[in-house]
Chain A
Amino acid sequence: MEGSSIATMGRDEPRLAPRRRLLPAAVLVIVLAAALILPQLTSNQFYIHLANLMLLNSIFAVSLGLIASVGQISLGHAAFVAAGAYVSALAALSFKLPPILGIVLAGLVTGLAAVLLGKILLRLRGVYFVLVTFLAGQVFTLIVLNWESVTHGANGLLGIPAISIFGLPLSTRLRFYYFALAAFIIVVTFVWALMRSQYGRAFRSIAENVRLAESSGIDVSHYQIVAFALGSGIAGAAGAAMVHYIRFLSPDSFTFNDSIAYITMLVVGGRHTMIGGVLGALFLTPLPELFRGFVGAQHIIYGVILLSVLLFIPNGLVSIGRSFFSKGSEPETPK
């Protein structure tokens, strides 16, 4: 595992000159404006639904990327999404907890669960960790299936309320879109700030060289738990948000296949950068629509894309864009 992935994330780049900072800012403003206005221009509910899924999947992939940034891959990510969804759905159905508070609660519960689980799991390095996250995800599914008095087992939960803000229910696709967009911006900004901070420095050190990180005074297990808890907490909260949008939840809603889908998004977009997860989600979420009518073909396409990216563009789509933009802007260094 040592020295493998996540390494190039957030290199110590020289400060950009003011003019060079202007361009990214302008692009950001334009993208944001487009994201705000475009949905108003279409009446096709399906496109808006797709946009909602893209935003939610982006959050899932970015939160997985946060866990991966310390050099670990979780195969149980969908279980945390599902756990958050169940927490908020059950709180709303049984205790009439407003969904918006349910989402916060879901984030806290899943984050805390990740801390406890992390204390056990993160003593395991590399493959053991991956295997056990996989098994833990399976345990969760089995428990949900088995605990029928609470979860209704395989029948699932029906009639989950929509999020409502100041009395305005986000029951239409368009209304939820703006909520999801806001959530997306908050998450992305948070993760960006985190990765830029001393936390990010610690995460990257651990991913790149565990032993040297520890002997540089970086408490490896502490930062691994922080990353695991934050990533899982964000996933749980986003899962809760999603369940108040889809408004139905069963053990099949988030499965191992979804865990693989999140990994695919992250790897295809570029697992070394935060924006990679976003790119992957934006690219892969609408893709199955092109292959409708072929049963099962969608998964095969995902698999083939994942393999091809691993083989031919190991740093993901993001690396194509980066090498395009950074041409000729390498700082000159004397030999």
Chain B
Amino acid sequence: MSAALLEVDAISRRFGGLNALKDVSFSIKTGEIVGLIGPNGAGKTTCFNVVSGVMSPSSGAIRFEQRSIVGKKPSAIVSEGLVRTFQATTIFPDATVIENVMRGAFATTPVSMLGSIFNTRAARTALSATRSRCELLLERLSLLQFRQRRAGELSYGGQRRLGVAIALAARPKLLMLDEPVAGLNPEEAADFGRLIKELHKTENISVLLVEHHMRLVMGLCDRLVVLDHGEKIAEGVPAEIRANRSVIQAYLGAEEAA
């Protein structure tokens, strides 16, 4: 059995008196695509924020490649190879598309800060290599023709793809996607699913996916983790989850309440 890439070990997160997350544990092995699902308010986003370092857990441990990442800044966690996207604010709207990706590649551009001020030959070489790498990413996400466009001018789907390109530019080992197809039409969503599958192969990355879109999740993920009211209620391959009684109840219950 290969070692886990990400181990989430009994994390909890309290807001005031409220338990947004309670003793949640799961792990992701190298090369896996794992889905994190659950009804609204189940704690998926909190879980995402805690793992990516945006907020710290009230208790519990998180290890990435066997090293603890609790208490590290999000930017430091990115350098370890754990990169996330956001639901809403996925891009830098006023910068050009290529500049967006160059910013995503900030931490993986091998250039000394001083060198970049003096614009040394080494800095220029490093930056142009990064630029080529970014253009390659844009091409893969069929955004290359828009490289000089303002990112805010892209279509909604285009902005979503750009968000992924920014994340990929940071060379993730584990890519965490926060509801990447929310707001896309079914066709675009299906395209996005294929894209993730493809990137998973070509870029050799593992994926953790928070998503509402059940068909996408079921078709894409090797394994699912289900949260409800901040607790993990089930874990398993999609077929198991589909048949799981407490999962069905959680979703039905949520629907009845709504």
Q: Is the CB of B108 closer than 8 A to any CB of chain A?
A: yes
Contact among A201, A211, A219, A221 for B103, CB-based, below 8 A: A201
Assess whether B234 is interfacial by the CB under 8 Å rule.
Answer: no
Q: Is the CB of B84 within 8 A of A331?
A: no
Taking CB atoms, residues of chain A closer than 8 Å to B93 are 3, 7, 208-209
Q: Which of B75, B95, B169, B170 contacts A12 (CB under 8 A)? A: B95
In contact, B117 and A199 (Cβ under 8 angstroms) = yes
Using Cβ atoms and an 8 Å threshold, which residues of chain A touch B113?
197-199
* A331 & B102 in contact (Cβ 8 Å cutoff): no
Residues of the A chain whose Cβ atoms lie less than 8 Å from the Cβ of B166: 212, 216
Contacts of A214 in B (CB 8 A): 54, 73-75
- Write the A237-267 contact mask toward B (1 if CB under 8 angstroms, else 0): 0000000000000000000000000000000
**Complex Cα spacing A334 to B147, Å:** 10
Q: Does B107 touch A at the CB level, under 8 Å?
A: yes
> From residue A111, how far is it (CB to closest CB) to chain B in Å?
16
Q: Does A220 make an interface contact (CB < 8 A)? A: yes
Residue from B117, B149, B170 having most chain A Cβ neighbours under 10 A: B117
Q: CB distance B91 to A12 under 8 Å?
A: no
Q: Which residues of B contact A219 (CB under 8 A)?
A: 73, 75-76
Question: Chain B: which residue is nearest A334 at the CB level?
Answer: B145
Q: How many residues of B contact A (CB 8 A)?
A: 44
Kindly supply a per-residue 1/0 record for chain B positions 105-129, scoring 1 wherever the CB is within 8 Å of any chain A CB and 0 otherwise. Answer: 0111101010011110001000000
Whether A12 contacts B79 in the complex (CB less than 8 A), given A197-B113, A217-B108, A219-B73, comes out as: no
Which residues of chain B come closer than 8 Å to A196, judged between CB atoms?
119
User: Beyond A197-B116, A217-B170, is A212–B89 a contact (Cβ under 8 Å)?
Assistant: yes
Are A209 and B96 within 8 A (Cβ)?
no
Q: How far is the CA of A211 from the CA of B169 in the complex (A)?
A: 16
On whether A208 and B119 interact (CB within 8 A), knowing A2-B89, A213-B103, A216-B106, the answer reads: no
Interface residues of A in 158-213 (CB under 8 A from B): 193-194, 196-199, 201-202, 204-205, 208-209, 211-213
Which B residues fall within an 8 A CB radius of A? 52, 54, 73-76, 78-79, 83-86, 89-96, 98-99, 102-104, 106-109, 111, 113, 116-119, 123, 145-146, 148-149, 166-167, 169-170
> Can you list 18 A-B pairs with a CB-CB distance of less than 8 A?
A3-B93, A3-B94, A11-B99, A14-B148, A193-B119, A197-B123, A198-B111, A204-B92, A205-B103, A209-B89, A209-B93, A211-B89, A215-B75, A215-B86, A217-B108, A218-B103, A331-B148, A333-B149
A-side interface residues toward B, CB under 8 Å? 2-3, 7-8, 11-12, 14, 193-194, 196-199, 201-202, 204-205, 208-209, 211-221, 331, 333-334
